[in-house]
Homo-oligomer: A and B are copies of this chain.
Amino acid sequence: MSGETLLLDYGSGGRASHRLISDLFLRHFDNPILGTLNDAARLDLTGPLAMSTDSYTVDPIFFPGGDIGTLAVHGTVNDVSMLGARPRYLSCGFILEEGLDMDILERVVASMGKAAREAGVFIVTGDTKVVPRGACDKMFINTTGIGEILVDPAPSGDRARPGDAILISGSMGDHGLTILSQRQGLNFAADVCSDSASLNRVVEKLVLEVGDIHVLRDPTRGGLATTLNEIAGQSQAVCHVLETAVPVRESVRNGCSFLGLDPLYLANEGKLICILPEERAEAALAVLREGPHGEHAARIGSVKSVGELGAARAGQVVMETALGGHRLLSMLEGEQLPRIC
């Protein structure tokens, strides 16, 4: 299919659709379940299960550190994992613009296949729609994932408890700054690169080996600040964060400063927040440091009860600044960056 462009009839359900399925999807996503070609895939899986969905509209499609295809695998694998689950199966829905270069589609499909194999998940069912030129911008991908929840109770946003340690698995803002700089045609330092990665193996070690993980959440859209606000709200607690403890690469810090962005509000695609009892923090950090992009894993603060931090109310995030002051870290207001993921 190299050198061709995508025609409307590739989404017709007719002969051209079948060719796309056999020449492209079955080849790169090869697995026995997808190959049955029924309306639905048959899965042998026992609950309790975690299910999560995300649509990916990132612009540009290709960027340093990944592309829309890797993102569509990593992002959904990670969301399923955050419930303390082992992701097993993904569905994949493409919306493609008529006239798309088939080589671009094939590169993305190949990336997805590789990312799925690396994460140990199967893409088992799919759908392709082709819309007329101008009705979508190049391509959008939806993936939905399911997997087995490994522990009971599962990590959940409402389980942060006063005294718990707050850890993050690496530096903040890499993905968001990478996308923005690509879009603006800016060239920052060579190490400004998306952190897009699957975190399922790290999560499995956290929940099965470290144990008693209260909250897992990946700080994607809205960044660390927004995600901590969600957790503080769900748990009716206060999150206390030390500004100096939050790892941000120097190149990302410089890029953000140049563009007037705050790395704490930028999306990450291969990082997680882990909240757990203080006495297990060191063991969890050791696991995080061995995971993807884990070299800067750090303890960034702790969960406080209402009243412990002056006037801070339940659901708030308080940051202790480098100079020792305190300021409220609110949820993202407005939009820094559309089509970040």
Interface string of A1-36 (1 = CB under 8 A from B): 000000111011111111000000000000000001
Among A39, A93, A144, A330, find the residue whose CB has the most chain B CB atoms closer than 10 A: A39
Question: Given A135-B137, A226-B14, A333-B14, are A43 and B54 also a contact pair (CB < 8 Å)?
Answer: no
A166 within 8 A of B: no
Q: Are B157's CB and A38's CB within 8 A?
A: yes
Q: Would you give 20 A-B contacts (Cβ < 8 Å), ordered by A?
A: A8-B338, A9-B334, A11-B338, A14-B265, A16-B333, A37-B234, A39-B82, A40-B80, A40-B85, A41-B51, A44-B49, A46-B46, A51-B91, A57-B95, A57-B129, A57-B131, A57-B135, A93-B142, A129-B339, A146-B146
Our pick among B13, B125, B132, B140 for the contact of A136 (Cβ within 8 Å) is B140
> Which chain B residue has the least Cβ–Cβ distance from A153?
B42
* Smallest beta-carbon distance A125→chain B, Å: 5
Q: Name the residue on B nearest A9 (C-beta).
A: B335
The size class of the interface chain A forms with chain B is 35 or more
What B residues does A80 contact at CB under 8 A? 39-40
Chain A interface SS verdict (over half):
mixed
Which residues from chain B contact A51 at a C-beta distance below 8 Å? 40-41, 43, 89, 91, 124-125, 146
Distance of A177 Cα from B47 Cα, bound (Å): 42
A198-220: CB near B (< 8 Å → 1, else 0) gives 00000000000000000001101
Q: In the complex, A9→B12 CA distance in Å?
A: 34
Q: Are B43 and A12 in contact (CB under 8 A)?
A: no
- CB contacts (< 8 Å) of A132 on chain B: these are 338-339
Additional pairs, 12, CB under 8 Å, beyond known A9-B334, A42-B83: A12-B335, A14-B335, A16-B334, A36-B158, A37-B230, A45-B48, A49-B146, A54-B127, A57-B129, A91-B144, A95-B95, A132-B339
Contact between B334 and A79 (Cβ–Cβ < 8 Å)? no
- Is A236 an interface position by the 8 A CB rule? no
A50 CB-CB contact with B under 8 Å: yes
Question: Are A53 and B137 in contact (CB-based, < 8 A)?
Answer: no
